[in-house]
Amino acid sequence: MFGKNKSKAWRQLESVYKHFRKTEMKDLFAQDKLRGERYSEQLDTMLVDYSKNRFDDNVLKALFELARERGLKEKIDDMFSGKKINATENRAVLHIALRNRGNTPIYVDGRDVMPKINATLEKMKDFSEAVRLGRFTGYTGKKLTNIVNIGIGGSDLGPFMACEALRYYWAKDIKCWFISNIDGTGCAEVLNKIDPETTLFIVASKTFTTIETLTNARTCRKWLVDALGEHAVAKHFIALSTNKEEVEKFGINPDNMFEFWDFVGGRYSMWSAIGMIIAIAVGYKNFERMLEGAYAMDRHFAETELEHNIPVILALIGIWYNNFYGIHRHCVVPYDQYLQYLPAYLQQLDMESNGKSVTLDNKYVDYATGPVLFGGAGTNVQHSFFQLLHQGTEVVPIDLIVPAISHNEIGSHQQILLANVLAQGEALMRGKTEAETAEELEAAGKPQTEINRMKKFKSFSGNRPSTTIVLKKIDPYGLGMLVAMYEHKIYSQGVIWNINSFDQFGVELGKKLALKILPELQGTAHNVEHDSSTSNLISYINKIRK
Any domain includes 84: no
Q: Mapped to the 3 state alphabet, what secondary structure does 483-501 carry?
A: HHHHHHHHHHHHHHHCCCC
Q: Is residue 318 part of a domain?
A: no
298-305 long-range contacts (CB < 8 A, ≥24 apart) are 298/80, 298/96, 298/99, 298/100, 298/484, 298/488, 299/102, 300/43, 301/76, 301/484, 301/488, 302/76, 302/77, 302/80
pLDDT for the residue 319:
98
pTM, two decimals, is: 0.96
Domain at 537, CATH number: 1.10.1390
pLDDT band at 508 (very low <50, low <70, confident <90, very high): confident
Catalytic residue annotation: 352, 383, 511
Which of 287, 322, 354 terminates a domain? The answer is: 287
Q: Domain containing 254 — which CATH number?
A: 3.40.50.10490
Domain that holds residue 173: 107-287
Boundary-marking domain end, from 235, 262, 287: 287
Over residues 355-369, the pLDDT tens digits come to 999 999 999 999 999
C-alpha distance from residue 403 to each of 91, 237, 434 (Å): 37, 37, 35
- The verdict on residue 327 lying in a domain is no
Average pLDDT over the chain reads: 96
For residue 456, which phi and psi values (nearest 5 degrees)?
A: -70, -40
In a domain, 536, yes or no: yes
Count of structural domains, the chain: 2
Span 461-481, average pLDDT: 98
In a domain, 44, yes or no: no
What does the pLDDT look like over 13-51, one tens digit per residue? 999 999 999 999 999 999 999 999 999 999 999 999 999
pLDDT at 5 over 80: no
Q: What would the pLDDT profile of 112-143 be if each residue is shown by its tens digit?
A: 999 999 999 999 999 999 999 999 999 999 99
Domain limit, last residue, from 287, 312, 334: 287
Residue 406 has pLDDT above 60, yes or no: yes
Residue 243 placed within a domain = yes
- 364 lies in some domain: no
